[in-house]
Structure 1
Amino acid sequence: MADTTNDALAAWMSDHQISPGELADAVNDVILDFTGKLGSVSERTVFRWLSGEIRWPQERQRRALETVAELPVTALGFVPRRRRAATPATPPEDPSVHRRRFVGAAAGTAAGAVPLLATSAPRPSRVGTSDVIRLRDSVELLVALDARRGGHTALERASLAGAADALDLQQRPATQRVKGRLFALASDFTATAAWSLIDAGHPVRAEQHLDRALALAGMAQDHEMVMQCWNLRAMLARQCKKYGEAVAAAQAAQATRAARGSRFHASLAHARTAIGLAHAGDNRAALRSLGRAEDALTKADLTEPRATWISFYGPAELHSLTAIVRDLVGDPAEAEAASYRALSSLPKSYRRNRAYTTARLALAQLHQGDAEQACTTSAEIFTIMAGDALPGRMRAVLGDFHRDLITLAPPRVAHEWADRYRTDWSTG
């Protein structure tokens, strides 16, 4: 956001992917709930907050901002006019006003409890942008959990609960813009449920969820969500060994408006195409697509805010995908180098991705004939994921590793590896 002096507010808006117009709508919605009269905050008002022209909004606007952001206004960069308490005490919020809380999953999953939407509280009759913001936060929480633990059926259930909540809100009075965003959020939640099953290795239900997510994205007319669905469709088809379909889905992702209008998105679509082509045995085309992915990412602005679903992508993920393509086309040395580059730049919070890339590194080392080092590397996977079962997709890669180990390594090495890791590898 240009010409900004209120960096705290700008940072909060960027983190929550909310535009000035959306924030104005959300504040006005909350003022309506407080007072019975729609607020008068405009997009220009928000720009004046961001520029510092307005350093201390009106009281009702402050109260509404605190409700929307769930933060004191002083934490949003606003400064009182005189020396006094930063803001009048905000009365306790009625639980029916714009509240979407997460609670732990059912007893028995304490070690990795999955947040579920609590929907038992009565809701206001009118739905506004603040509801959209809170549901977006819910999606982000689920994505963070996936990055840490990987896909599992409890994550699927939590995601579907979020989709149901969004669709329930969509039935209530709201502007067409808010209704469209709720459809998009329902698509996002449903696609997250599909991804959790793809990662867990349950393709049939994943396909059903993807069909639903794509339909919801169409109703929302949301190009980001359409691309997300095609990206996941490409991954699912590859998992099911339908390589022609994987390539076609990745090319459909390339054709979306999201990919045509963003080099960043285009890079992911080209990389996904390269994976499908490499599995299909079309090595030259795979390397061409990989080159397009690298070129597009080089030209992309990596500082721009991104939708939550694509937050995993960037140079580290492209290195990881490069490692897969290079190994499949018969260049394991370059695959090993790409894996190391990925591991050196992956965020620490991406635990599942780190373990998966480590599995690909072990495969690349094995394919170069270094079985002892490959076994040592593969042991790191179980340390990285300690405390959680390996997702099905990762266990599939380790299955490939075991089969190649039997073929390429001395029998003693393969037997020792299987005896040591069979329990951790084969259960989940």
Structure 2
Amino acid sequence: MSLGYRSQEDLAKALNEAARSIGLRISVTKKTIGRWESDAPPWPQADHAQALEALFNRPITELGFSSSRRSGSESPRPQAIGSRETWASRHAGAAPGMLPQSVASDFMASAAAYRHMYWSVPADRLQRLVAEHAALGWDHLDQIPGAARSLMARAVAETSLLAGRLEFFDLQQPELAKPSFALALQAASRADDALLGAAALAHMAFAPAFSGDTDRIEEARENLRAARIFADRGDASAEMIAWLDAVEAEVETRIGDIDRALELLEHAEQMYAEHDEDEAPSPVWLDWFSPARLAGFKGNTQITAGRAAAARETLERTLEGLPAEAIKQRAVVYADLAAAAVLDRDPEQACERLGEALDLLGQHWYATAMDRVKAVRQTLREWDSLPRVRELDEKLYTWHTMIRSRAV
């Protein structure tokens, strides 16, 4: 009550939100709270205990649960001194070579912090930190005792997945991304987290699809088939199914099956129409997808299909729906709008849009967006003599863009 939760429903909602903030997917209800408030409350499940600790900012042993009712042989954490745990209290009684359970929560908190930093910190600097964090967690995973090991494994999987995204999309280093996605899959297996496994497998489909190697088409499709099986096992939300549809549509667009890609995008839109975040929330790490970003996938496919007017309408809707911090995605959309202008044979508009994309890339580098810019510039060759195109080249070929393009 001192924290402002005036009912069991309020507390249940706050606990579910606290769990999501540290990467857990739980469902605490009024009935759960009622059991905990009984005269002899049962010891909470591991994920519930971590959520309680996150919300109340104190160890589970201080929250009124009886250690005598704890299942299993693992002894509870020692009582803290005063209202806070000390380093010594966390380590007291730990087995030789083992780390305290709190390390898992610390790792998950760091994973969440890196996830938030992705939108603002330069990718090349962040990638080194994130990749090292994932490796550190994996190296010490077996030193985490009991149920906390599962949380640690999820933190490693989420962090390695982020490292792979940085390496593939931001820095265009697929040779680094491949082992990062593989580690994410391994860690997801240790956590028995089917949804993280699905995310890792879906990301593994990008490299063969983007490679241009027709012999790797089946590799991309197989990864996506596996991703859908794991998503089903994990009871994925409608939003996550929509994301898998969008990824598969991107793959099919690259392969050249535009009709299939458009069918998938239509299904993704239907899934989003059914999505209820309150009833079936998505994992907190699925923060790279939204209705606006789905529209971005669709606009790019419409350009490939030669539907300039439809693409322009879709992409303008994407711009309106993107949050202010989505600088990377906004640069991609401007490049795609430029491509739509080329389809309309409007080089002036194409140059205007490419200039807007380059302005954003000057703020926040994103290799995927620069690739789109360069691809559209190649389609402007018949208008090379126009002053507006020459002005674009002045902006495109600067010290900054040349060094960054070749550094990655």
Q: Which amino acid aligns with 1:377?
A: R
Residue 279 (structure 1) aligns with? 254
Task: Give the alignment partner of residue 226 of structure 2, picking from 252, 259, 263.
Answer: 252
Name the residue aligned to 1:12: 18
- The 1:98/1:155 distance shift into structure 2, 3 A limit, reads farther
Over the matched positions of the two proteins, sequence identity in percent amounts to 17
Distance of 1:237 and 1:380 partners within structure 2: 30
2:119 aligned to which of 138, 147, 162: 147
Under a length normalisation based on structure 1, what TM-score does the superposition of the two structures give? 0.72
Distance 1:97 1:238 in 2: 51
CA distance in 1, matches of 2:252, 2:155: 32
Amino acid at match of 1:148: S
Q: Note if 1:210 corresponds to 2:197.
A: no
> Aligned pair in 2 of structure 1 residues 13, 180: CA closer, same or farther (>3 Å)?
closer
Superposed displacement of residue 68, structure 1? 4.2
Q: Does 1:193 align with 2:163?
A: yes
The one-character-per-residue Cα deviations of 1:78-123 (angstroms, maximum 9, x if unpaired) are 9xxxxxxxxxx95665356779xxxxxxxxxxxxxxxxxxxxxxx9
RMSD of Structure 2 on Structure 1 (CA): 3.7
Partners of 2:252 and 2:196 lie apart in 1 by 24
Which among 354, 359, 375 is matched to residue 383 of structure 1? 359
Please tell me whether the aligned partners of residues 126 and 174 of structure 1 are also in contact (alpha carbons under 8 angstroms). Answer: yes
Match of 2:349 in 1: 373
The one-character-per-residue Cα deviations of 1:127-159 (angstroms, maximum 9, x if unpaired) are 32x43333222122212222235632x222211
Query: What residue is the counterpart of 1:300 in the other structure?
Result: 275
Aligned to 2:370, the other structure's residue is in SS state helix
CA distance in 2, matches of 1:313, 1:416: 34
2:86 corresponds to: 94
Please tell me whether residue 47 in structure 1 is matched to residue 30 in structure 2: no
C-alpha offsets along residues 291-349 of structure 1, whole Å, 9 cap, x if unaligned?
A: 12111221122344432331221201101111111111111221211111111111222
Match of 2:154 in 1: 184
State the shift of 1:249 in Å: 2.8
1:328 — aligned with what?
A: 304
Q: Name the count of aligned residue pairs.
A: 358
Structure 2: any 5+ residue segments left out of the alignment? 1-6, 40-48, 64-80
**Equivalent of residue 127 in structure 1, options 68, 76, 100:** 100
CA offsets, 1:37-86, max 9 Å, x none? xxxxxx99972599x999xxxxxxxxx9999438778xxxx9xxxxxxxx
Contact 2:9 2:30 in 1 (8 A): no
2:57 and 2:148 map into 1 onto residues whose CA distance is 25
SS of the residue corresponding to residue 379 of structure 2 reads: helix
Matching residue's letter, 2:284: T
Contact 2:210 2:254 in 1 (8 A): no
- Contact persistence 1:20–1:46 (CA under 8 A): no
- Identify the residue that residue 108 of structure 1 maps to in structure 2: none
Residue 294 (structure 2) pairs with residue 318 (structure 1): yes
CA contact (8 A) 1:156 1:197 kept: yes
Instruction: State the AA in 2 paired with 1:180.
Output: S
Q: What's the TM-score, normalizing by structure 2?
A: 0.75
1:400 maps to 2:375? yes
CA change 1:19–1:275 in 2 (3 A) is closer
CA contact 1:151–1:195 (8 Å) conserved in 2? no
Match of 2:141 in 1: 170
Using the TM superposition, give the Cα deviation of residue 418 of structure 1 relative to its aligned residue in structure 2, in angstroms: 0.9
Offset, 1:357 = 2.0
| Structure 1 residue 163, shift from structure 2 partner | 1.6
